A and B are shown apart, each in its own frame.
Chain A
Amino acid sequence: MATATAKTPTDRGGERSASGTAPDARRLGPLRRMWRSSIGKKTVMAVSGLLMLGYLVVHMLGNLKIFFGAGEFNGYAHWLRTIGEPFLHHEWFLWIARVALVAAVVAHAVSAYQLSRRDLAARPVKYARRRARTSYATRTMRWGGVIVGLFIVWHILDLTTGTVNPRGQAGHPYENVVATFSTWYGNTIYVVAMLAVGLHVRHGFYSAAQTLGATRAGLRRGLSAASNVLAVVLTAGFLSVPIAVMTGAVH
């Protein structure tokens, strides 16, 4: 039937089509469909984040061995290379862990980057007067994440490969750590990074739980408290080492 001026309802919605999208997505496999979606990417961030968080807890606890002296600390470092022997070849466990961690970091960073781009594009205009009500931890997730990412690069060059370590002696991590924390810049970088880690964990852990669908009120309260505890314990645990070096408790 003739309509003098045809107008489809989507005319005003820009290029987006009303019904064209969902069936497109339906044709994809579940994993590709999930990766395409914002919730799917958030899930990738949550899972990779939790993996890294687990690693951080173990890493922090291992670091505390430094308070038992060079022998025990270096012995612990050596033992890490022998985990899984004789079933695994020497250092294989360590490399498996490293590969997994790199994968987690990349997955986390790629999703974060893509989600951030989407978020920024979704809100292109700022308000004239902005009242920030979200917490500091929430607002610093992006830059905090970047800081932590850069720190990881420095940290590997410093204490894994020894490339930028003032001492850089393979097989002597205790002495290398003391060397790093005997410099002003080493301490500065480390302290800033660990504060960033604390803030990142504080919002990230609870956020990951929400992404994965923790809805019960009691569970949420528990997870929220756990976020704060984890953030404080991790930051304090990691910072205890440079502080100990600076104060001379570890030398």
Chain B
Amino acid sequence: MRLTLRIWRQRGPEDRGAMATYELDGIAPEMSFLEMLDTLNEELADRGEEPVAFDHDCREGICGACGVVINGQAHGPEPTTTCQLHMRHFEDGDTIDVEPWRAAAFPVVKDLVVDRSSFDRIIGAGGYVTAPTGSAPEAHSTPVPKDAADTAFEHAECIGCGACVAACPNGAAMLFTSAKVNHLNSLPQGAPERETRVLDMVDQMDTEGFGGCTLAGECATACPKGIPLPSIAAMNREYLRAVRKS
């Protein structure tokens, strides 16, 4: 396959950055999108140019490190992560736009690499159960109804990649935050901190400069792990419940 790539190049956080165009030939349809970028980078290095920086690690769709906006879509046209997107979903001769996640709370570090530490701070604000090592009761002392366990799991699948923020027209982190709130709040182990968790995490989310939800639904469409949109409504409910109780 022969492709025209238009890729965002930005030397550092202070640099203005711009799209750069590259012609790339010899791309096999069974390559992953990141392997296509690897190929480009080898060519750039051969020409003495600097390779394109992008985050990636496990390359099997679970670590959440990778993620670029491909032709305006977070993680590209398939409902998966960028590392699991294969070139067979593109046509010979295509022009592909590759951009970093765009959000005020995700400043660009370099090229396609952004700083998502705001997510870590949201988790640090309350996305945990206070259970110091050694203090745990016997695992079977608290049965968890299967449906609660399943709901928790469905939300716990979030990989923290940030595609929801990148896709949201408001740069909102509602889906990310709600996934963790609902994971922990639906379990009996999370109950004692149920109210403080949602209040503190939402405060942190706002402080980080994420936008609000206008129910555009783009986050859930982009989510490679299928965190459902109603997760946000469930967090809203937890929030209002917590306000009433406080």
Contact = CB atoms under 8 A, between A and B. Distances in A.
A201 to B, nearest CB: 14
Contacts of B213: 38, 42, 210-211
Contact of B73 (A14, A124, A131): A131
A118 to B, nearest CB: 6
Interface residues of A, number: 55
A215 B103 contact: no
Interface string B196-225: 000110111111111111111110010000
A133 B221 contact: yes
Contact of B243 (A19, A30, A126, A129): A30
A215 B233 contact: yes
B124 interface: yes
A13 B212 CA distance: 20
A99 interface: no
Interface string B156-192: 0000000000001111100000000000000000000
B232 interface: yes
A127 interface: yes
A40 B236 CA distance: 9
Interface string B220-246: 010000000010111111111101001
Contact of A13 (B73, B121, B232, B234): B121
Interface string B32-72: 00000000000000000000000000000000000001011
Nearest to A126: B102
A128 B6 contact: yes
B209 A16 contact: yes
B171 A215 contact: no
Given A122-B170, A213-B240, A16 B103 contact: no
Contact of A127 (B69, B204, B216, B236): B69
A130 B72 contact: yes
A89 interface: no
A221 to B, nearest CB: 11
A9 B115 CA distance: 12
B236 A42 contact: yes
A231 to B, nearest CB: 15
Contacts of A120: 170, 211
Nearest to A206: B215
Contacts of B233: 209-211, 213-215, 220
A219 to B, nearest CB: 10
Contact of A36 (B105, B125, B205, B206): B206
A153 interface: no
A141 B169 CA distance: 13
Contact of B215 (A25, A119, A210, A217): A210
Contacts of A127: 69, 72, 97, 99, 102
13 contacts: A21-B125, A22-B204, A33-B243, A122-B170, A125-B102, A131-B71, A133-B218, A134-B216, A139-B216, A206-B215, A210-B213, A211-B213, A212-B236
5 closest cross-chain pairs (CB), A and B: A213-B237, A122-B211, A122-B171, A119-B170, A123-B171
Given A22-B207, A118-B212, A127-B99, 16 more contacts: A12-B117, A13-B121, A19-B124, A21-B203, A21-B204, A39-B240, A40-B239, A42-B212, A42-B236, A119-B169, A122-B103, A123-B103, A133-B221, A138-B214, A210-B213, A213-B238
